Amino acid sequence: MCIGVGEKGGPKRCSADARGRAEIAHTAVLTQTQVVDDLTAAHTQSSIDIDELVAAINGDLSPEQEAAILARTEDPTPPEPEPESKPEPDSSPAATSWHGQMAAASAEVDQAWSAVQIAEAEFAKSPEIPGTAVEKVRHTMECHEQLLAASTVYEAKVRAAGELVAARADTLIAERLDGFPEDPPRVTLEELRDLQRSTWTDGASLAEYHRKVEQYNSEHRRITGRDRVRAEAYRDVLSQIRPVGDAAPKIAGKRPHKQTVADLQAAARFIPGDWITAVDDAHGPITVRRATGKRGYYSRSEELIVTGGEEATMHHEYAHRMEAHIPQISAATNAFLVRRTQNADGVRDQLERYNGSRSELLRPDGFVDKYVGKEYGHESTEVFTTGTEALFAGQYGGLIGAQRRETGESYSADEEHRALILGLYATALRGEHR
């Protein structure tokens, strides 16, 4: 063992230490010798070049010798290639057309959805990684954050595609509503209250009051002529992207209510056929029932839809079935709901009771109706259902600020919500991304 500097009896050099230092010195000598040789050769070549240059000036060289000197003195470094010019944006008619833009937007949606699927797979495997409990928890949380980020990007891409659909549909709607008669005025809650008070004070006809109540109830969820014009425009534009309304839902039961079946078929006209086929094949036929005067609902465990006989309610409840079984829909609607109900500091809006109910909680945000922000605690939302009902049945002001039916005032518009719904109808479960 060698004794180092500062140690008792040191410093001393062992044989291995001395040999190593000798090898380092030898290498340094060889390196310096090579440098000297290179400098000597360069000096000798410079002397030759100078002599040849003087001879060339005096005319003492042959043409062959002059050519050789010129070739030797040329820059041996090859010229740098010119930088590649960036490709000009594709300005072809196919790329600049609406169909070209939709194809590009749909491709971005598909790419974003692939990223969501990868993140979901990583999150599902996270509990299985080796390591301590703390490491497992940390890894799971990281995977969850990556999944949330991928879902946020996916939702944004879906909305971008939906904006293209909305812009094209708005053009059609404006053309078709030009000169179209206005919807007749509706009975409002305020009118009913005034009429009710007058029956007490002025002795107005109670029968007239009841007639107005029946009219209000029948109109409350009725689809107007202008509603249908907008709905058909959305359908026509979506049909330019994919087949819509080309599949009939399978219905369970021997004698379902005829009008309820008709309402389901009417709603299916606006649903991509491959959605209906995929859900029916995987989860069986849907049972439909009518319960007049009761609140409609969809039961996933029973695959059952109950309505009170309103076509608008069927749009809503059938949309619940689509969201329950098509993961692209629930991924986008949940990301939308989180983003819209989250403050800048990352804290979400406080939960509130819906109409005083303890079982129904929501985060109001700035939706057209508080019900849009309902929280279920799992994949389901009311984002897709209310959006579908708005676009194809004219509810919630169609998300464009149309008249509020309960009061006669106007709803607020929500272009983001509309774009999300149209984007999902245009892109979800298409082609290889089923």
In the prediction, which pLDDT does 82 show? 55
Residues 6+ apart with CB under 8 A from 129: 135, 136, 139
| Residue 363 per-residue DSSP state | -
Q: Is the pLDDT of residue 268 over 50?
A: yes
Q: How confident is the model at residue 27 (pLDDT cuts 50, 70, 90)?
A: very low
Q: Is the pLDDT of residue 46 over 80?
A: no
* Whole-structure pTM value: 0.72
At 226, give phi and psi (nearest 5°): -70, -35
Q: Where are the domains of the chain?
A: 17-48, 185-342+351-433
In the prediction, which pLDDT does 216 show? 57
pLDDT in tens, 258-267: 999 999 999 9
* 297-304: average pLDDT: 96
Q: How confident is the model at residue 400 (pLDDT cuts 50, 70, 90)?
A: very high
pLDDT in tens, 83-100: 555 555 555 555 579 999
Query: To the nearest whole number, what is the mean pLDDT of the chain?
Result: 81
Q: How confident is the model at residue 152 (pLDDT cuts 50, 70, 90)?
A: very high
In the prediction, which pLDDT does 47 show? 59
Instruction: Check if the beta carbon of residue 387 is closer than 8 Å to that of residue 420.
Output: yes
Q: Is the pLDDT of residue 253 over 60?
A: yes
- DSSP H or E run through 218: helix 206-220
